[in-house]
Amino acid sequence: MIATQETMVHTFWECNRRYFNRSLPTPLFETINRMDVIGKFEYHKNKKNSKKPISNQTIKMSDCFDYTEKDFVDTMVHEMIHYYIAWNRIKDNRSHGKVFMGMAKEMNEKYNLDITKTKDASSYKLTEKAPCCNG
């Protein structure tokens, strides 16, 4: 499964329904052509009196890998946990802090996911978009 607009949107909608009770508004999606980053969540904080806690929320995934469906879902949910924490203005002590790891552990146990702080992509199959493959 390769990260494209279509695969990311579809996977987000399905994960939002299954794991987040449809609580997250649809973000922007971008592919990134990097082998050192599998997924990334970026956003801008809004002022405290704003109706929306964040804006320009974007989930990015590397298009250098041909993920298994499970790895793709795990990566999407990892980024969606970051999104959930930011959207709900939940304070955490760091990017992969106590709140993040608590949510990951709960989802791993409840839904048989494998959400971790980092992933080793060395076993992932490369796509033709991978920099090493563009001779």
pTM value > 0.75:
yes
- Nearest C-alpha neighbor of 62 from the set 112, 7, 107: 7
Rounded Cα gap, residues 18 and 76, in angstroms: 12
**What domains sit in the chain, N to C, each tagged with a CATH number?**
5-130 (3.30.2010)
23, 29, 37, 53, 125 from 131: Cα distances, Å: 36, 21, 13, 36, 13
Res 134 pLDDT > 60: no
Tokens of 8: 């990311």
pLDDT of 132: 65
pLDDT, one tens digit per residue, over 13-22 is: 999 999 999 9
- Top-confidence residue, 85 or 45: 85
Residue 130 binned pLDDT confidence (cut-offs 50, 70, 90) = confident
